[in-house]
């Protein structure tokens, strides 16, 4: 009878252990001072390309690990790049960000859950940001005490110097609002380039010249008269009369290696190997519009990546109306 009772109690304890296995395990882990790792947050982005020294730190970890291509990123994850390195991060809501060398970028957790809102903490370095697929998105980038906000489609470059607390933004597409907690505000429109402080949203494009006082000559010593050399005016940079087809192909070819990485990293999900892009190039050499004319890739990430690099090409200045050119790629 005692053996049967012991057997029944053992079976009951075994069943209870199976039912509350996780709770029991967590209790003993906490008892010895080791808390279980938090489950990773929902992924919202992917590293589609990385070069050389790129590391990431998860929100629930304290160590930095080497980044891997196609690795997913979640809220509060951080991306850091070293010398001569960069990472291309594609967000699910449409933004593609090229993180330049010696940069630190953290995906912030918004205080309010708003659809199509992306908040970033950009500590230092340079980022190139592009979004040409969604009009109802909002991007907020916090650098020290200043927040840069853009809505809808945009294409811009932002650089931050942590030591001098100075930043510079260059807008190609869209409009940015730079503001701080005190209500100071700077508006940067398309084709504008402005510098501002990360301590306070004030523009610092123009700095007053430094006036060096000239000492008065003593009666005994005559002031030395220095010869002032008249500087010859600098020759203006050559401006092309028109942008020829050969010129466009030459400048695109210089970026071919970067464009090819878009396909190399995602070719497993691509249906085809060709894409044709139409470029509208302003007389200043800036690409004001890049759109897909034809594609067999059928992969949005590859297509957005190609457009990102094409819009970043700086062509030579030329005279006359904007150039309208079509460029095709056949990936191997």
- Please report, for the chain, the start and end positions of each structural domain, with discontinuous segments joined by +: 43-197, 245-330
Q: How many CB atoms lie within 10 A of CB 113?
A: 7
Q: Are strands 274-281 and 193-197 parallel, antiparallel or unpaired?
A: unpaired
The edge-to-edge listing of strands for the beta sheet with 274-281 is 287-295, 274-281, 323-330
Which three-class secondary structure state does DSSP give residue 300? Answer: helix
In angstroms, rounded to a whole number, what is the distance separating the alpha carbons of residues 74 and 40?
A: 7
Task: Name the class of domain 245-330.
Answer: alpha beta
Each residue's pLDDT expressed in tens, for the chain with a length of 332 residues: 677 887 787 777 776 666 665 556 555 545 554 443 444 568 889 997 777 789 999 988 888 999 888 889 999 999 999 888 888 899 988 899 999 888 999 999 887 777 789 999 998 999 999 987 778 899 999 999 999 999 999 999 999 998 899 999 999 889 999 999 999 999 999 989 999 999 988 998 654 544 555 555 555 555 565 565 656 555 555 566 788 888 888 899 888 888 888 888 788 888 898 999 999 888 888 888 888 999 999 888 888 888 888 888 888 888 888 889 999 988 88
Which residues have C-beta within 8 Å of that of residue 277, sequence separation ≥ 6?
Answer: 290, 291, 292, 293, 306, 307, 310, 326, 327, 328, 329
CA 247, 275, 284, 160 dihedral sign is negative
Q: How many CB atoms lie within 10 A of CB 23?
A: 8
State which fold the 43-197 domain adopts. Jelly Rolls (2.60.120)
Q: Is 293 exposed, middle or buried (0-12, 13-18, 19+ CB in 10 A)?
A: exposed
pTM: 0.59
Which residues have C-beta within 8 Å of that of residue 48, sequence separation ≥ 6?
Answer: 69, 70, 88, 89, 90, 262, 265, 266, 301, 305
Which candidate, 325, 269, 104, places its Cα nearest to that of 305? 269
> Encoding tokens for residue 272?
């085809």
């Amino acid at each position: 009878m005692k053996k049967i009772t012991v057997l029944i109690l053992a079976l009951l304890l075994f069943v209870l252990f199976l039912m509350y296995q996780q709770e029991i395990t967590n209790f003993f882990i906490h008892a010895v001072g080791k808390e279980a790792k938090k489950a990773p947050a929902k992924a919202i982005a992917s590293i589609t390309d990385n070069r050389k020294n790129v590391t990431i730190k998860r929100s629930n970890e304290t160590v930095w690990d080497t980044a891997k291509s196609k690795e997913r990123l979640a809220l509060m994850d951080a991306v850091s790049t070293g010398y001569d390195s960069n990472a291309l991060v594609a967000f699910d809501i449409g933004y593609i960000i090229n993180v330049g060398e010696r940069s630190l970028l953290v995906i912030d957790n918004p205080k309010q859950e708003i659809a199509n809102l992306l908040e970033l903490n950009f500590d230092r370095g340079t980022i190139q940001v592009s979004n040409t697929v969604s009009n109802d998105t909002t991007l907020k980038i916090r650098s020290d005490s200043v927040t840069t906000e853009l809505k809808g489609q945009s294409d811009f470059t932002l650089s931050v110097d942590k030591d001098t607390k100075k930043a510079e933004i260059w807008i190609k597409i869209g409009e940015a609002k730079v503001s701080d907690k005190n209500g100071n505000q700077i508006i940067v429109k398309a084709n504008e380039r402005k510098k501002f402080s990360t301590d306070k949203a004030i523009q610092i494009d123009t700095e007053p010249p430094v006036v060096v006082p000239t000492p008065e000559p003593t009666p005994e010593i005559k002031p030395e008269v220095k010869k002032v050399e008249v500087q010859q005016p600098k020759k203006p940079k050559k401006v092309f009369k028109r942008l020829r087809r050969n010129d466009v192909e030459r400048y695109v070819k210089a970026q071919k290696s970067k464009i090819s990485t878009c396909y190399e990293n995602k070719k497993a999900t691509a249906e085809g190997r060709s894409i044709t892009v139409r470029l509208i190039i302003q007389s200043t050499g800036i690409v004001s519009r890049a759109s897909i004319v034809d594609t067999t890739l059928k992969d949005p990430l590859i297509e957005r990546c190609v457009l990102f690099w094409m819009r970043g090409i700086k062509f030579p200045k030329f005279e006359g109306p904007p150039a309208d050119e079509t460029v095709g790629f056949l990936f191997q």
